[in-house]
Amino acid sequence: MAELRYHPDADDEAKAALRWYDARSPRKARRFDFVLERTFDEIVGQPDRFPRLDHEFREAAVPRFPYSVIYRALPSGDVQVVAVAHASREPGYWRDRA
């Protein structure tokens, strides 16, 4: 099975979102963490399932939260998460991470 690799900035984004939810509602934070992990599992299980943004990147919406996971399949067969992007962020802000 493919391994999930995180760009350091994507990991920071996920942790910051989790902290934000936790500060407001620990229950909501747990739900966000669960749904985000499930999204990661779905990406690893079927990386071609989600819509393409271009020839290299795909986007998986995080259900019930205003976030998307931006990722790409690597030649090794692994998957790299390049962003855990809030919907209010400028589209494509993560492109320099490639």
Per-residue pLDDT of the chain (98 residues; tens, 9 = 90+): 789 999 999 999 999 999 999 999 999 999 999 999 999 999 999 999 999 999 999 999 999 999 999 999 999 999 999 999 999 999 999 999 87
CA-nearest of 67, 88, 96 to 9 is 96
Boundaries of every domain in the chain: 4-93
Total residues found in the chain within this entry: 98
pTM of the model: 0.94
Under a CB-based contact definition with an 8 Å cutoff, are residues 39 and 56 in contact? no
AA identity, residue 67:
Y
- Find residue 14's DSSP bridge partners: none
- Find residue 78's DSSP bridge partners: none
Which token pair is 38? 């499930």
CATH number given to 4-93: 3.30.2310.20
